[in-house]
Amino acid sequence: MKKGYFMQTEMKKKSWGLIPILDKINFKAKVILRGYYLMIKRSIQQENIVLVNVYTPNIEESKHIKQILREIKKQINSNTIIVGDFNTSLTSIARSSKQKISRKTAAVNDTLDQVNVLDIFRALHPKATEYTSFSSAHGTFF
């Protein structure tokens, strides 16, 4: 394993998770790997921090996404960063005007509200699209 990396873990079907961590930071960590999310609980300078990476396949049922988010909610604190890919456009800026909100998107947004999770990038930059790519074939940003 390269210097500067904390963990490399084999997941389902030969997929790999790699978590870069600065090797100059002294920390304790607990790693939780469950299905479609990876959680690292760390203590840095007596501050508890939770890092979560979520992935939901494009075909995933909205009830499964709700279950994942509710399970994560039980284990996080106010110093939590959640990153990942829900494989759906969560805001209208990421959809073309002719696209309807899918049940999956509505369910993910409702659950994010219920577990009190905020898309901080979208809150600070409600109209920004430069972090995405536009697919003219699908009429959407991704």
Distance CA 100, CA 136 (A): 16
pLDDT, greater one: 42 or 133: 42
Token pair recorded at residue 115: 């577990």
pLDDT band at 1 (very low <50, low <70, confident <90, very high): very low
Q: Which domains does the chain have, with CATH numbers?
A: 5-141 (3.60.10.10)
Counts for the chain of helices (H) and strands (E), in that order: 3, 8
Task: Name the amino acid, one letter, at 88.
Answer: T
**Taking 60 as the threshold, does the pLDDT of residue 131 lie above it?**
no
Q: What is the pLDDT of residue 41?
A: 84
Is the separation of the CB atoms in 68 and 54 below 8 Å? yes
The answer to whether 97 and 107 have CB atoms below 8 angstroms apart is no
